[in-house]
Amino acid sequence: MAAHLGKLRQLILFFAHQESAQPLGHTKLYKLLYFSDMVHLRATDESITGAEYRRYPHGPVPPEGIITLQDLIRHQLVREEHISLSNGLTLHKLISTQAPDLTLFKESERKSMDFVLDHFGSQTATSLSQLSHQELAWLMADDGGPLDVDLMGAKSTSEDPFAEAVAIIDEWYETPDKKGDAYWDELAKEIETSRMNLREKDDDW
């Protein structure tokens, strides 16, 4: 499936235009894009953007998203501010200079976008990266390789598939102290099998 670059472009503008998603760096943006596509996949069996995601150290990243963001910055539709952090790193803060065109999106897509903004928009890049490391699609992918769309989300048989998808996400990302020992034992096995590297840092964490 080819990526819908128009929707990808507007989805980037959507998150870069939201005050509640700030500060928004590259890592955080790519995770919000991933979760938007993943939530809609689990609700409707369709991706919003159709973008391919690849396994990068800090979680899923869409190569088309990198190119699209660069184009938006080049045409001054997204402004990039460089902010020095107390840990010596630099945050590349992304701010949209125009409102997104939401007419491109279906109602179910808007619902997924709003859900991701409400649930994940205020989280840090570090937190979102850690959440994405729990995704089976990321765990099973080769380093730098594409994520399996079938592992990102399966078709629902529920009468209200979006509600089911939300329930799945809420259960999957419940707070760590609610997770049982069996969950952490299984995750440890998956980490060992996939040789995950959780010690790398990014400049906009």
> Can you give the pLDDT of all 205 residues of the chain as single tens digits?
678 999 999 999 999 999 999 999 999 999 999 999 999 999 999 999 999 999 999 999 999 999 999 999 999 999 999 888 777 877 789 999 999 999 999 999 999 999 999 999 999 999 999 999 988 898 889 999 999 998 887 444 445 545 555 555 555 554 454 555 565 566 555 545 543 433 333 444 4
* Closest C-alpha to 45, from 6, 100, 1: 1
Q: How far is CA 84 from the centre of its chain?
A: 24
In this structure, the chain runs to a length of: 205
Q: pTM for this structure?
A: 0.75
Query: d(Cα 124, Cα 89) in Å, to the nearest integer?
Result: 15
Q: Are 69 and 26 in contact (CB under 8 A)?
A: yes
Helices within the chain (DSSP H only): 5-16, 26-44, 63-74, 107-120, 125-132, 136-140, 149-152, 161-172, 181-194
